[in-house]
Amino acid sequence: MTQAMTQAMTSIVILGAGYAGMATAMSLAGRTRRRSDVRVTLVNGSDRFTERLRLHQIASGQELADLRIPTLLAGTGVDLVRGWVTGIDVHAKKIRVDDERVLPYDTLVYALGATADTGAVPGAGELAYTLDSAHDAATLARALPDLRTVAVCGSGLTGVEAAAELAERHPHLRVTLLGRQEPGARLTPKARSYLDAALARLGVQVRAGVEIEKVTPGGVEVADGATTEADAVLWTGGVRVSPLAAAAGLRVDAHGRIVTDAALRSVSHPSVYAVGDAAAVRQGYGTMHGTCQGGMPTGAHAAASIARELAGAAPKPFRFGYLHLPLSLGREDAVVQFTHPDDSPKRLYLTGKRAVWYKETVSSSPWPSFRRLFTSPAVGMLGWRRGGRYTR
């Protein structure tokens, strides 16, 4: 390749191959496949795709499909760089990977996602298990046969799904779910009653309205001085994002997420797009919260915006509305709360076998959706796709 050709090449680097990052890569590859002047590079620490929606299943000891990123990228022209991002120079437009390699970029897509906030209380980082990766989940699964009690800290959706899965798969375990809020706090009263009954049927003990103060080798200490004894603690309470964005000088919100404009570009550095959990995306109803439901549409929209800029056009505003809140309760039960676009609950909800079918359908392997983004990028995320309502 001549020097002139190298200088004419536009380099787009995507950091993170989760739901949002993969959606960006596949959609952008589809939109630029007829261009020889665009190079798309995807950077990720592993070549395995993590189905975060199903990590609670791995934690209970179930085997999931081994989804490999190079297999999906085959034939797309996207280069995969395996490595951990250690620094971003937004002025020189360069990425450091593993402190050795340097990747230049013209446009950057930041999709590094979030992890469990184990720094919230003393002891959580050192003693608690997490669902941050397939490896972390499998580590807990290997320990379960020798345990009698497990405390799940965090009564949000991840905590509820994990507690139910562990209790159903391992009836010998005494599973306790602890958190500030009641499980299913975002459900309608009837749907919440169904959830409560399902947890009781599975034998999950619920301690709501508690402030967890410390994780110890023997369990969990809460603010009122009481202790919940546990052989193992699974931490699902709260999330935190990588500090790389803030360290690079990108404008972030109080949670460390990159503040974006209407097109998902950083308000401080427009050559950087932010998608998924790493982005503070404002809509008319407020700031979006991090879920796959919204993550994949942000990735697809970022790809569309970048393609428009490459063609000399201005990117369009991102518009998104929530559709539902699906919650698995083991393999045989579930509750699905349908929502208004602002994520407030509608009256309609599903339970039991119908909810299981619905949940498994919307949470099925993302591979077909990713492939569709490559083959038909203009329509791949319009309408109902992976659980959200997306327009652009």
Q: Which residues lie closer than 8 Å to 329 by C-beta, 6 or more apart?
A: 160, 161, 164, 168, 195, 198, 199, 202, 335
Q: Which two tokens stand for residue 355?
A: 């909810």
Task: Report the SS3 class of residue 51.
Answer: coil
pLDDT class for 384, splitting at 50, 70, 90? Answer: very low
- Stated as kind and residue range, the H or E segment containing 304 is helix 292-310
Average pLDDT over residues 232-261: 94
Stronger pLDDT, 283 or 8, i.e. the higher one:
283
**Domains of the chain (ranges, CATH numbers):** 9-45+83-113+242-320+365-391 (3.50.50.60), 124-235 (3.50.50.60)
Q: What is the pLDDT of residues 287-305, one digit of tens each?
A: 998 777 889 999 999 999 9
- Position 210 scores a pLDDT of 93
The Cα 237–Cα 320 span in angstroms is 26
Helices (runs of H) and strands (runs of E) counted in the chain:
12, 27
- Position 376 scores a pLDDT of 85
The Cα 233–Cα 48 span in angstroms is 26
- Position 379 scores a pLDDT of 61
* CB 54 within 8 Å of CB 364: no
Task: Report the SS3 class of residue 197.
Answer: helix
Average pLDDT over residues 214-239: 92
The Cα 232–Cα 60 span in angstroms is 13
SS (H, E, C) 66-98: CCEHHHHHCCCCCEEEECCEEEEECCCCEEEEC
Average pLDDT over residues 374-388: 60
Q: What is the pLDDT of residues 293-349, one digit of tens each?
A: 889 999 999 999 999 999 999 999 999 999 999 999 999 999 999 999 999 999 999
∠64-68-71 over CA atoms, to 5°? 135
The Cα 162–Cα 185 span in angstroms is 16
∠283-43-322 over CA atoms, to 5°? 25
Task: Say whether pLDDT at 203 is over 70.
Answer: yes
Range of lowest pLDDT (66-80, 165-179, 371-385): 371-385
Q: What is the mean pLDDT of the chain?
A: 92
- Position 120 scores a pLDDT of 86
- Position 5 scores a pLDDT of 46
* CB 84 within 8 Å of CB 90: no
Look at phi and psi of residue 53 and say left if phi exceeds 0, alpha if psi is from -120 to 50, else beta.
alpha
Look at phi and psi of residue 297 and say left if phi exceeds 0, alpha if psi is from -120 to 50, else beta.
alpha
C-alpha dihedral sign at 130, 292, 248, 49? positive
Q: Name the residue among 162, 154, 228, 144 with its Cα closest to residue 199.
A: 162
Within a 10 A sphere around the Cβ of 335, how many other Cβ atoms? 25
- Stated as kind and residue range, the H or E segment containing 390 is strand 388-391
Average pLDDT over residues 126-143: 96
- Position 8 scores a pLDDT of 78
Which CA distances in Å does 25 have to 44, 104, 357? 12, 17, 29
